[in-house]
């Protein structure tokens, strides 16, 4: 009987009830200070948690372009260079106004910040602050993002040639 129920769950009910994973793109905004990096975190509008700027895919824009747009709108990054490749991804449970939630996979692109603006679309809705990668890792809640920030701190400040 248990095997039959497990089969029904795995083959029928679970696929019907399982919510599809959604995708977002995030900007890991950073600058070099001395021999180390500083990470720019922002507060979320709903809970005030420290997070990376992130958002849903933007039609007509690629992933890194979406990350740059979110860095501008949510953190005021006026000038920045986004890497062509992500540094990883993390997942979290996104709550919606309807009371439902869904798993979200967030792909993270590093963005070297060249200029911040005091006036930006969400300036009055969020705080922003620079942290060391280890401080940032301690402030965010998502375990995979904590690890991504820890790993980012350990990466070389200067790009290594490939090939």
Q: Is residue 30 part of a domain?
A: yes
Number of domains in the chain: 1
Residue 88 is part of a domain; what is its CATH number?
3.90.79.10
Residue 94 confidence (pLDDT) above 90:
no
Q: Is residue 9 part of a domain?
A: no
Q: What is the pLDDT of residue 96?
A: 78
What is the arithmetic mean of pLDDT over 134-161? 82
Residue 163: pLDDT band (50, 70, 90) is very low
Under DSSP, is residue 65 helix (H, G, I), strand (E, B) or coil?
helix
Domain that holds residue 113: 19-154
Comparing 34 with 23, which gets the higher pLDDT? 23
Comparing 99 with 119, which gets the higher pLDDT? 119
Q: Is residue 36 part of a domain?
A: yes
Please check whether residue 133 is in contact with residue 39, taking contact to mean a CB–CB distance below 8 angstroms: yes
Q: Are strands 77-82 and 54-55 parallel, antiparallel or unpaired?
A: unpaired
Backbone φ and ψ of 61, nearest 5°: -125, 140
Q: Is residue 82 part of a domain?
A: yes
Q: Is residue 142 part of a domain?
A: yes
């Amino acid at each position: 009987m248990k095997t039959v129920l497990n089969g029904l769950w795995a083959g029928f009910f679970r696929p019907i009830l399982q919510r599809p994973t959604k995708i977002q793109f995030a900007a890991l905004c950073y600058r070099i200070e001395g021999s180390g990096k500083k990470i720019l975190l922002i507060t979320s509008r709903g809970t005030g948690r420290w997070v990376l700027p992130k958002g849903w895919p933007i039609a007509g824009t690629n992933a890194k372009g979406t990350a740059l747009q979110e860095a501008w709108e949510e953190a005021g990054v006026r000038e920045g260079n986004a890497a062509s490749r992500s540094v990883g991804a993390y997942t979290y449970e996104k709550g919606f106004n309807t009371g439902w939630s869904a798993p979200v996979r967030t792909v993270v692109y590093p963005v070297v910040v060249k200029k911040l603006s005091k006036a930006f679309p969400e300036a009055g809705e969020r705080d922003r602050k620079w942290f060391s990668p280890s401080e940032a890792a301690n402030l965010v809640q998502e375990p995979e993002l904590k690890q991504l920030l820890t790993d980012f701190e350990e990466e070389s400040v200067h790009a290594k040639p490939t090939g």
